[in-house]
């Protein structure tokens, strides 16, 4: 299993909170970092994919379980 460099806990935040928290972590990240984002806002699933397309980073995993979304992102674009 891929080990996250850092975890962003955005559970309980409504849109656009989770994507904002991800961007904050992204700004402090280094190439090759793995960011894990936990969110409960339903929109985050689509939002994170849009962000991946826009920035060109890599979505390693996107799962939803019991209303909780977990995204694992590898930073390959700065």
Partner 1 sequence: MGENKKIGMVVFSGTEDKMIPVGVISQGAAAMGYDVMIFFTGWAMFRLLKKPMEPTWPKEFEQMVPALMDGMKRIKAPSWLDMLKQAKEMGAKIYVCSMMSQAAGLRKEDFDSSLVDDVVGVAAFLEMAEGGQVLFI
Query: Contact positions toward partner 1, by CB under 8 A?
Result: 12-17, 19-20, 22-23, 47, 50-51, 54-56, 77
DSSP code of residue 41:
-
Q: How far is the CB of 21 from partner 1 (least distance, A)?
A: 9
Residues 17 and 40: their CA atoms lie apart, in Å, by 11
Q: Whose Cβ is closer to partner 1: residue 4's or residue 52's?
A: 52
- Token pair in block for residue 53: 């397309």
Annotated catalytic residue, options 4, 13, 15, 60: 15
Q: Whose Cβ is closer to partner 1: residue 63's or residue 77's?
A: 77
Catalytic annotation present for 29: no
- Distance of CA 47 to CAs 1, 16, 43, Å? 24, 9, 6
- Token pair in block for residue 25: 């972590």
Q: Whose Cβ is closer to partner 1: residue 19's or residue 34's?
A: 19
Just list the catalytic residues: 15
């Amino acid at each position: 299993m891929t080990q996250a460099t850092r975890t962003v806990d955005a559970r309980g935040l409504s849109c656009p909170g989770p994507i904002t928290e991800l961007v904050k972590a992204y700004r402090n990240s280094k190439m090759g970092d793995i960011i894990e984002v936990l969110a409960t806002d339903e929109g985050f699933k689509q939002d994170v994919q849009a962000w991946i397309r826009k920035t060109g980073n890599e979505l390693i995993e996107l799962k939803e379980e019991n209303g909780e979304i977990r995204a694992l992102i590898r930073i390959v674009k700065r």
